Structure 1
Amino acid sequence: MDALTQVTIDFETSHLVFPRLISVILALMGAAILLTKRQRIAGAGGYWRETLSRMDKARFFGTLALTLLYFSLMVPVGDIWPNTGRGFLICSVPYVLATGLLFMHDRTIRNVVPLAIVALLAPALVWWLFTDLFFLTLP
């Protein structure tokens, strides 16, 4: 009976409980959508063919590549200065600048200067907020 009132926590894997729970719930919801809407999903080929032919592939794939690069580099850069958040700061500035330039239609100096200012100030503000006010470490 004494074991019923004792709780042991495995700190090696305890942080994985909620991601696994959310993953299972999302998988079940996805399966339910596939089962209930399978007719509409099967007939959507023409819609997607038209959408893919009209989409801006350079911006779409550029955004995917920049985002993958951003998240891939943040931890290795952050490991140079552990627990300071500099990986976030150093990687976020070029990421914000590059995505802004990618989506900017008219790349004149008049439009690029405000973007560069935002790319420098916004990540610095977020870094300061998380580090000094919330005492949270960023990668």
Structure 2
Amino acid sequence: MADGSSLLKVTIDFDQSHLFFPNIIHWILAILAILIAISYGPKLLRKAKSKVDKSGEKAKKVDWLRLLGTLVITIVYFSLMESVGDIFPNMGLGFLLTSIPFMFLLSMLYVHEPTRREFVTISLSSFISPLVAWYVLAQVFNISLP
């Protein structure tokens, strides 16, 4: 080849290289979710409909607060993680600083009437768990976190 390029030459864009495997995983999960929905969806819908018809009872009410709250908190968590990580680049603090409130809010959402003891337990676990995960992944194994 006249320009000196070769099929054996590999160039890596290190600014984007950390996105390679997450993109592969996203596509695999999306394809699997579609396959599961196609394979089992109709059967599950028929089964749910027949249970309602046979028992004569309505299906249980959906807890919309927790369902929508979980969706909103999760979307905000993933949306903010990279932005916060950009403030402190290459330190994994985007993961750490967004995981603490994410875990706290999600846990509080699912506790119906939190006691003082439950509040303290949730607070401690919301702080300690992401801190341990961040330390092990980012510091011990040197894995790049957002």
State TM-score, norm by structure 2.
0.70
Distance 1:17 1:119 in 2: 27
In structure 2, give the amino acid aligned to 1:7: L
Gaps of 5+ in 1: 1-5
Distance 1:32 1:116 in 2: 37
Which residue does the alignment assign to 2:100? 93
Runs of 4+ in 1 over 2 A off after TM superposition: 6-34, 36-47
In structure 2, give the amino acid aligned to 1:46: K
Distance 1:18 1:96 in 2: 22
Q: Displacement of 1:129 after TM fit?
A: 0.5
Q: Displacement of 1:20 after TM fit?
A: 5.2
Q: Judging by fraction of residues, say which structure has more helix.
A: 1
1:42-76 deviations in Å (ceiling 9; x for gaps)? 746737x955x622111111001000000000000
For 1:10-29, what aligned pairs fall within 5 Å after superposition?
A: 11=12, 16=20, 19=23, 23=27, 27=31
**How many pairs were matched up?**
133
CA-atom RMSD in angstroms: 3.6
Which residue does the alignment assign to 2:4? none
Distance 1:18 1:137 in 2: 12
Gaps of 5+ in 2: 1-6, 53-57
Mapped pair 1:68 → 2:75:
yes
Distance 2:25 2:123 in 1: 40
Identity %: 27
